[in-house]
Chain A
Amino acid sequence: MKDINNDSRKPNVFKTYQDLFFKSLFFVSALISSLMIIIIIIFIAQKGISPFLSSYEYGQQNIISFLTGMVWRQDQAIYGVAFIIINTLISGFASLLIAFPISVLTALFVVKIAPKPIGYFIESAIEILASIPSVVYGVFAVGFIVPLIQTLANIFKVQTAGGSSLLAVILLLSIMILPTITSISITAIKAVDIDLEKASYALGASKTQTNFKIVLNSAKSGIFAGAILGLGRAFGEATAVSMVAGNKMFGPTFNLFDITRTMTSTMLAGLKETTGLDYDIRFSVGLVLMGVILISNLLINFVKNNIGKNHA
């Protein structure tokens, strides 16, 4: 009996080491998870820059003509990414322009206006839309949006490549980023302080005035976070876009009914039978894509802060 008592008073060495072991194990996992983003950036940057270094095995490329070039021809090994960046920006921002008002008003309706069952119903519909894989959206775009645009083009008597067009990309992307922006806006609007609304009503504002002037303004920060995520998705969306973009070899494309070429469609085009420079240059495009997403995020943040100043 005496021994046992003594034992239990001592710190349990096994338990201490067990704790230490698991703590380190959990820490290492967290470290791996958090280092992944840095690993991704470093490796893609290294590979993406390599074609422009003198040591490149398939012949050094000119980085200036890559960044300012308006022609992309795999067959002639001419790689200019400038018009592709512009195309990507056009389709991304245009789809944001369509999806943003729809998303924000849908979110407002779901949280503040609709009766609970209807709000829940629409929210579920948005969740389902968000979980539809991009390749299914691609099938839908090829079978539904593209013929629709062909019909439109026939009505307006414009030339189009069977319907694959900038307009198809924009419509497709607006459908795809709609649920992203909506669900984040819903969260943002739900978080608005009820006291602000009560104060607005007390001052004699109508429900609609309160919704538009108080609720949306207070939820602004979250709504713009949704817009940033939506824009990132629009820029990074690959499979569905490549099914309807048509991959034009020069540009930029401003005509809605003309085919276009985005960064992601470029990265996927003809991937099956490619090697050497044509394969490696895709990593450079990927690097540019990451840069574009980063810069546009900063830009939206800037816009958001400025809107805040106007209302304050």
Chain B
Amino acid sequence: MRKFNIKDLILDGITYLFSSVSLILLVIIFIFIFQKGFSSLNLELFTSPYWSENYYASIPASNNTYLLKSTLDSNEYYSEKFGIALKDDFNARNEAIVVISYVHPDSPFNELTNSTSGANEGQIITAQEGMIVNKISYINSNGVTRSAGPVIKQMAEDTINTIEKSDQLDSVFLQTQGGGIFGSLIATIMLILISLLISLPIGIMTAIYLNEYAKYNRFTPWIRSSIELLTGVPSIVFGLMGVLVLFPITSVFGASGTSILLGGLTLSIILLPVIIRTTEESLKVVPDSFREASHSLGANHSQTIFKIIIPAALPGILTATILSIGRIIGESAALIYTMGTYISDKPELLKGATSLAVQIWSIMNGDQPNFGLASAISIIILVMVLVMNIGVKVLTRSKVKKW
């Protein structure tokens, strides 16, 4: 008898041990991602483009002095002659850079003239806090143009000291910081809209057919299992399918290669099984007495479906939508094939772009993997996924109504 108990004890012990694994994993993953990405996470990330922009601009003459009204940190260096403060910083690749930390409201740096040749030549640029200063050209006492700044290995303090000695600045080479996710954010929203627009109607109509019409049809099991098979297809195979089957459709609209439209179309097929299953489950719980009551009042089948059944199944359809959005946000392999991996700051429907998930892949596979940014985007994705998870839970709870 005792022997059995020891055996039981061991088995129970193993069960307790193994059950804690998933919990521990979840905690490790969250702590790790948050720890690595949190420092790179800020509001500017959402609004700034990924690629940095270069500005070569000329500085207007000024003879004023710009007295500092507020106090600056000890690592910021201020030029009273030109009303600008610089500080040392590190970029995402951990290279030392000099950034603008403060611009006086009357400073000549507020009215720079873009001298980069191209469409924007002659435009007025405002130097903004956070921009990277690569070079400031000044005219020295002999009337010769000289350079200051990181281009001659000067950091913030030396740069300010150098330009303070001069009376006239000539031009400045500025760079925006980049490393943002604005483009991918827009592309992800576009993806969500396109794929839901196609997938929701087809999925809901299929679910209605399966639940309302095809109950005793002998083709139904066949239709059902082919849809079920779609669940097991790996996402990268959907990517191949998108390139082969759906690309001709997008090329009708004028797409010449990978595009957001193609990604959206591909996703809409990936989403179908999820939407169909979730919608059908919510249709199943609509009691038959609803249908009978509607029919007995003289409504035909389609009226019953649109006025009684779909409204009753609405929470289920909403659940399907949320699940789909979660899937779209996380999808990567299929999109790498259909949307490409080039991070676009101005995503267009018929051009390639990256979703947030693909941007992570792109960053990690680039020449200089930026782990901080990848983790920061991962945090954003994790938070979205968590919120949706909770949303679905709340919905399914409210859905279990007693009819």
Contacts and interface: CB of A to CB of B under 8 A. Distances in A.
Interface residues of B, number: 86
Interface stretch (B123-131, B136-144, B209-217): B209-217
A125 B26 contact: yes
Contact of A30 (B4, B210, B234): B210
B229 to A, nearest CB: 5
Given A22-B301, A142-B371, A102 B21 contact: yes
Contacts of A132: 29, 330, 382, 385
B368 to A, nearest CB: 14
Interface stretch (A53-61, A67-75, A264-272): A264-272
Interface stretch (B82-90, B163-171, B220-228, B312-320): B220-228
Nearest to B237: A286
A275 to B, nearest CB: 11
A74 to B, nearest CB: 16
A308 interface: no
B331 interface: yes
A243 B305 CA distance: 48
B240 A44 contact: yes
A168 to B, nearest CB: 14
Interface string A115-156: 000000110111111011111111110111000000000000
A27 B16 CA distance: 49
A11 to B, nearest CB: 10
Interface stretch (B50-58, B70-78, B145-153, B200-208): B200-208
A105 interface: yes
Interface in A257-304: 264, 267-268, 271-272, 282-283, 286, 289-290, 293, 297
Contacts of B388: 131
A22 B302 contact: yes
B336 A289 contact: no
A37 B229 contact: yes
Interface stretch (A79-87, A195-203, A233-241): A233-241
A206 interface: yes
Interface stretch (B111-119, B286-294, B356-364): B356-364
B321 interface: no
A35 B385 CA distance: 31
Contact of B382 (A43, A136, A286, A289): A136
A290 B226 CA distance: 15
Nearest to B27: A125
B103 interface: no
Interface in B227-251: 227, 229-230, 232-238, 240-241, 244-245
B15 interface: yes
Which secondary structure dominates chain B's binding surface? helix
Contact of B33 (A134, A140, A286): A140
B326 interface: yes
Contact of B244 (A44, A239, A264, A293): A44
Specify the main secondary structure of chain A where it touches its partner: helix
Contacts of A31: 223
A94 B309 CA distance: 47
B176 interface: no
Contacts of B4: 206, 209
Contact of B15 (A21, A34, A105, A139): A105
Nearest to B362: A272
Contacts of B330: 131-136
B22 interface: yes
Interface string B266-293: 0001001000100000000000000000
B237 A236 contact: yes
A104 to B, nearest CB: 8
A250 interface: no
B39 interface: no
B206 A26 contact: yes
A229 interface: yes
A108 interface: yes
A106 B233 CA distance: 26
Nearest to A14: B300
B8 A268 contact: no
A39 B238 CA distance: 11
Interface of B: 4-5, 7-8, 11-12, 14-16, 18-19, 21-23, 25-26, 28-29, 32-33, 36, 201-203, 205-206, 208-210, 212-214, 222-224, 226-227, 229-230, 232-238, 240-241, 244-245, 269, 272, 276, 300-303, 305, 326, 329-333, 336-337, 340-341, 357-358, 360-361, 364-365, 369, 371, 374-375, 378, 381-382, 385-386, 388-389, 393
Given A33-B226, A239-B333, 4 more contacts: A25-B205, A31-B223, A134-B333, A140-B29
Interface of A: 12, 15-16, 18-19, 21-23, 25-27, 29-40, 43-44, 47, 101-102, 105-106, 108-110, 113-114, 121-122, 124-129, 131-140, 142-144, 175, 178-179, 182, 206-209, 212, 229, 232-233, 235-239, 243, 264, 267-268, 271-272, 282-283, 286, 289-290, 293, 297
17 contacts: A19-B302, A22-B305, A26-B208, A29-B203, A33-B226, A43-B241, A125-B26, A127-B389, A128-B386, A133-B330, A133-B331, A133-B385, A135-B361, A140-B29, A236-B236, A238-B236, A271-B341
